[in-house]
Structure 1
Amino acid sequence: MSAESSNLSNIEHRPVIKYFVKKGKTPKEIFEDMLSVLQESAPSYTMVKKWARLFQQGRESCEDDPRPERPVTVVTEENVRKIEKLVLADRRIKLWQIAEELQISKERVGEIIHEHMNMRKISARWGQKMLTLFDKQRRLQTIKDFLELVGDNIDEICYRIVTVDETWVRQYDPESKQESMQWTKKGKRPPKKFKVQKSASKLMATIFWDSEGVLLIDYLPKGTAMNGQYYANLLAQAREAVVQKRRGKLSRGVLFLQDNASVHTARVSRQALKDTGFSEIDHPPYSPDLAPSDYFLFSNLKKELRGRRFVDDNQMKMAVESHFTAKKRNIFWAV
């Protein structure tokens, strides 16, 4: 069948549906058959179901029911209830689907939904992870355990915590649109900002820090994989940094906080952590509220480095070191 001959109107679809109903086909079979032949001009599944139901009930006419001479408003309490029922049954339903189901215009459907039902269609917000019941219970238990550990000694416990995380540092990371905002007089044209790609040259920095500042920064050599053995070596270096920079901290007991990355949970890493003598604080999966590196340490670092160009990795490392050296100790305690 040619494209021109398959381009049927809505009213021409109905005799076809009636014919298939007489042959005993189901609405789904009718829809699939018509879709395979008519393709884009095929009727919707909702329309096929509606007319198939009417023909099964004994309807013979394929024409629309006659309308009264005087226009009657369709914004009635009955239609409001019907539309509300359809929307609550399927919150992703489209206006045209409701319009076909109730045989009213799409404009009136929109009017009822927006003005009489006071509803609007919005996109779902992205979440990090849909937690299972077990995940939620574990998070709750972790919080309870931590509160029990803290008791009345919040300052003492925070002093004992050492945390770690990894982040990428680039030789050039362009400013975001929000960061480039500037005050401009009314009537003046806004400044232009051209899209610039991030630098391909980057280093992974692993940073150990506590309430007094940064203890250790390690940059993963290019061409080297971050694995359990590499991380185990870093833990030994972190212990030495605590001994050298935080006199008495090790004897008071270090509480170590890390996320559940695979290199952190590897067997060799677990053994290395045990050898350091650190006590690990439980960190449930997908718990950003327990990861201060993400919302404090890294965000401030990236904000200062963004928009600056570094000629090589050494200059970039110096900028990172300078950023942390310039920070006063009370800044880290204020987290």
Structure 2
Amino acid sequence: MSRSRVYQWCIWFGEGRTSLENEPKSGRPKILTNEENTTRVDELFQFDRRTKIREITLKLEIAKSTVHEIVHDTLGCRKVDKARPHDLETSLLSLDQKVQRAEFRRLRDGCRVLGYKSCDPLRNFATGSGSAAQYCRTFDRLIDAIRRKRPGLLRRGFVLQHDNATLHSANLTQQWLQCYGWEILPHPTHSPDLAPSDFKFVFTFEASFRRHGFRDRR
């Protein structure tokens, strides 16, 4: 303690002061961040997280600086930018779902994304009767291979998992399946997962376009 402060305390004790605590001062309190106001502000935020500090000031009749300190310092709230969603909705996808849709996604124009190179997707266009005919020819080669390697397997029958893709729902494909009597297991529409029956034919479809040149990737 400095010498001047010691002199000041000697004067106060000489005037009859007996306490070392600060005496209450007159005028408006410096800040009103008590537990009651903190609870009231927190209740408003729990009811509506989009509430602004100006609205809280008008509803609770507390100074704006006090509300600002309660919100940012006491409650630890931070302002969220407009691009980030404030509320959790069922339409928001998790990180795993976004990755699955990025790896394989069926678009409305009938094209199928097989992979990504740089920022441009590599597309395999699977539309038209020609693709359905190639799909059936692939099955014909599969049956020939099964007859040579596992003759008894054809009598047991097969189960294919198909969705509503143009290639699967084509008339030529449906006629081929009815002719051989293969059972179809439906696949969920617009599912981000690749049907197990498609894994064998991805490389066949991709190889058919290696002999063709395209001016752009659209």
TM category, shorter: 0.3 to 0.5
Which structure has the bigger radius of gyration?
2
Higher RCO (CA < 8 A, seq sep 6+): 1
TM-score (norm 1): 0.33
Tell me the TM-score normalized by structure 2.
0.48
